[in-house]
């Protein structure tokens, strides 16, 4: 973006040598957007200059466009783009399909005949129950409309595919080679691999619900698949009876990514288990990334088992770039085993002890422990999770090193912690000490906080009925307040939250 901005300050004639240099522009990606949190936005006057003066001149060299959906029409109509083959849209909604991806659309030529790679990122604020126009997802329509599509990626909170109709003509493609999709259940995953996508070589799937598969599927081998990635929350034996048999059908697999959350499993997943159940069956595998979290009853674990014991089982099979964390709680054990660097953008159920690794890719974190979280713990969180956007704290224990929280407006004992990117904070299942920890600006600064989930009584106490000055700043930018009960707010509340768009009543749960 800095390069593009600098070019704007140069007279258009001086741009011509650069524009005509195909070495520079043949592989050029343009990132043009006006209103998305994930990409630096550009102002309307700059967008006008791009559309009027620059894009029509270099459109023949543009092969890839990354756009925000609201600016999509303006930019695509600005030029002909004869060589455009890749299109990525942010803040996508279903109605874009029915409006722009049609035979009457001015983009028909580009979409139907040119685009080979299509990536759609759903609007994170999209309400699926209200705005979803295609009951089973837009996937089938997209595959039929785009004649030359070889790579399709559809992601976001409202993008999941439900294949109620298991007909082989549903979501069929004879040329698609790469698919990245979010499906409702494991059955939908199996349906997509029953032969309707015969040329598929790369399959990336995230599964929402853990349900037993009740429909018989084509269980033939999948020799074309060379790359597979799955993210799945498995209940009890689902990993063993669903995921493992699927992996063994991929005899030519070269790259594998497993993000597995095992719940109520009877044994932990260690290096020995992975070697015997997975690696021995995939002889061509050369790249294996994973994060496997297992929760099991304390009675299922050998007494005295430690993180080092689990780590050793991976060392024994030749995997040294692995970290293991084992938490022994009151009645259960939580074990994390993951390859390095850490591959997922979220991490759940991390306690007081975790390795000193910078988790640069993690933007969503849930911390949980039966022992209290002290100020030093949150210093470490800020240090080792530098790009954190969404934090959930689950801890009922009172902080040991605390003063009289409500009466102490000056923190001289500890350094102030700053979370520069945190926009969602969930404190519903935490002690009042953690409300103080995050709302008091002398302890924590949250310059981007927009969504706050908290118990109203605790919030009311910590803010002294919404009059306390040191808790005012961290609340000032909140757009959405989520509580468990409906409350009649005092007048001081609305002064305290001047940007509040909604105060909703929801039961709390941690979900992607």
Span 195-236, pLDDT tens digits: 999 999 999 999 988 776 555 566 789 999 999 999 999 999
Tokens encoding 357 = 């690794």
From residue 95, how far is each of 105, 126, 137, 210 by CA, in Å? 13, 12, 12, 29
- Of 10-14, 26-30, 40-44, 372-376, the one with minimum mean pLDDT is 26-30
Shortest CA distance to 325 belongs to which of 314, 343, 311, 341?
311
The residue behind tokens 């029953």 is: 194
Pairing of the two strands 29-32 and 64-68: parallel
pLDDT at 408: 57
> Global pTM?
0.88
Please tell me which residue, 16 or 79, carries the higher pLDDT value.
79
Shortest CA distance to 218 belongs to which of 192, 194, 189, 198?
194
Whether 10 has a pLDDT exceeding 60, the answer reads: no
Buried b / exposed e across 301-314, counting CB within 10 Å, b at 16+? beeeeebeebbebb
Instruction: Please spell the DSSP secondary structure of 206-251, one letter per residue.
Output: EEEE-----S-------TT--EEEEEEEEETTHIIIIIHHHHTT-T
Tokens encoding 107 = 């983009």
pLDDT at 54: 82
445 φ, ψ (degrees, to nearest 5): -115, 130
> By three-state DSSP, how is residue 434 classified?
helix
Whether 309 has a pLDDT exceeding 70, the answer reads: yes
- Of 14-23, 44-53, 250-259, 430-439, the one with minimum mean pLDDT is 14-23
Whether 337 has a pLDDT exceeding 80, the answer reads: yes
Those residues whose C-beta lies under 8 Å from the C-beta of residue 458, and which sit 6 or more positions away, are 427, 432, 435
Query: How many angstroms separate the CA atoms of 25 and 4, rounded?
Result: 12
Tokens encoding 225 = 């698949």
Query: How many angstroms separate the CA atoms of 12 and 169, rounded?
Result: 51
Tokens encoding 375 = 């100020």
Q: What is the pLDDT of residues 450-506, one digit of tens each?
A: 999 999 999 999 999 999 999 999 999 999 999 988 888 888 998 999 998 777 655
Please tell me which residue, 168 or 506, carries the higher pLDDT value.
168
Query: How many angstroms separate the CA atoms of 205 and 442, rounded?
Result: 43
Tell me if 268 sits within 8 A of 296, measured CB to CB.
yes
Q: What is the DSSP letter of 52?
A: I
Tell me if 144 sits within 8 A of 107, measured CB to CB.
no
- Of 129-143, 159-173, 445-459, 484-498, the one with minimum mean pLDDT is 129-143
The residue behind tokens 């979280």 is: 373
pLDDT at 68: 87
Shortest CA distance to 463 belongs to which of 479, 447, 475?
475
The residue behind tokens 């520079």 is: 24
Q: What is the pLDDT of residues 250-307, one digit of tens each?
A: 999 999 999 999 999 999 999 999 999 999 999 999 999 999 999 999 998 988 899 9
pLDDT at 188: 92
pLDDT at 130: 47
Sequence-ordered strand ranges (E) for 10-144 = 29-32, 64-68, 86-92, 117-122
Average the pLDDT over 505-510 and give the result: 43
pLDDT at 48: 81
pLDDT at 21: 58
pLDDT at 57: 86
Instruction: Reply yes or no: is the peptide bond before residue 309 cis, omega within 30 of 0.
Output: no
- Of 11-20, 77-86, 294-303, 368-377, the one with minimum mean pLDDT is 11-20
Cα angle 219, 220, 221; round to 5? 120
Please tell me which residue, 26 or 359, carries the higher pLDDT value.
359
pLDDT band at 12 (very low <50, low <70, confident <90, very high): low
Please tell me which residue, 18 or 257, carries the higher pLDDT value.
257
Average the pLDDT over 360-387 and give the result: 97
From residue 228, how far is each of 196, 234, 343 by CA, in Å? 17, 17, 14
Query: How many angstroms separate the CA atoms of 99 and 126, rounded?
Result: 17
């Amino acid at each position: 973006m800095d390069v593009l901005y600098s070019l704007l300050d140069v007279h258009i004639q001086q741009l011509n040598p650069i524009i005509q240099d195909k070495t520079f522009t043949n592989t050029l990606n343009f990132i043009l957007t006006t209103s998305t949190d994930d990409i630096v936005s550009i102002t309307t006057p700059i967008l006008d200059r791009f559309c009027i003066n620059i894009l029509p001149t270099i459109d023949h060299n543009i092969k890839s466009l990354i756009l925000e959906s609201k600016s999509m029409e303006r930019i695509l109509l600005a030029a002909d783009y004869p060589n455009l083959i890749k299109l990525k849209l942010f803040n996508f909604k279903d109605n874009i399909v029915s409006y722009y991806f049609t035979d009457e659309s001015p983009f028909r030529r580009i979409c139907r005949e040119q685009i080979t790679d299509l990536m759609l990122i759903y609007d994170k604020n999209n309400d699926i129950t209200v705005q979803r126009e295609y009951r089973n997802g837009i996937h089938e329509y997209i595959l039929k409309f785009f004649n030359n599509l070889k790579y399709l990626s559809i992601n976001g909170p409202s993008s999941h595919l439900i294949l109620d109709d298991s007909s082989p003509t549903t979501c069929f493609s004879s040329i698609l080679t790469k698919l990245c999709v979010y499906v409702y259940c494991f059955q939908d995953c199996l349906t997509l691999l029953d032969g309707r996508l015969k040329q598929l070589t790369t399959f990336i799937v995230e599964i929402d619900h853990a349900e037993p598969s009740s429909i018989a599927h084509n269980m033939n081998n999948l020799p074309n698949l060379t790359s597979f990635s799955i993210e799945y929350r498995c209940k009890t034996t689902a990993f063993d009876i669903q995921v493992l048999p699927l992996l063994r059908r991929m005899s030519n697999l070269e790259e594998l990514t497993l993000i597995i959350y095992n719940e109520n499993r009877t044994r932990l997943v260690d290096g020995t288990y992975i070697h015997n159940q997975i690696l021995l069956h995939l002889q061509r595998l050369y790249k294996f990334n994973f994060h496997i979290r297992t929760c099991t009853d304390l009675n299922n674990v050998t007494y005295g088992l430690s993180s080092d014991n689990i780590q050793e089982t991976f060392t024994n099979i030749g995997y040294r770039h692995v970290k293991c964390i084992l938490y022994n709680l009151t009645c259960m054990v939580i074990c994390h085993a993951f390859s390095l660097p850490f591959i997922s953008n979220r991490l759940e159920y991390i306690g007081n002890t975790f390795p000193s690794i910078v988790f640069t890719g993690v933007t969503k974190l849930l911390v949980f422990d039966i022992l209290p979280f002290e100020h030093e713990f949150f210093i470490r969180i800020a240090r080792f999770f530098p790009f954190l956007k969404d934090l959930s704290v689950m801890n009922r224990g009172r902080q040991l090193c605390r003063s009289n929280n409500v009466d102490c407006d000056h923190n001289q004992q500890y350094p102030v912690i700053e979370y520069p990117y945190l926009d969602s904070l969930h404190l519903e299942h935490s002690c009042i000490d953690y409300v103080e920890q995050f709302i008091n600006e002398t302890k924590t600064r949250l310059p981007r906080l927009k969504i706050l989930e908290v118990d109203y009584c605790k919030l009311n106490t910590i803010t002294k009925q919404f009059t306390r000055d040191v808790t005012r700043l961290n609340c000032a930018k909140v757009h959405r307040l989520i509580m468990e009960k409906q409350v009649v707010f005092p007048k001081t509340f609305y002064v305290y939250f001047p940007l509040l768009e909604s105060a909703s009543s929801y039961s709390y749960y941690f979900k992607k």
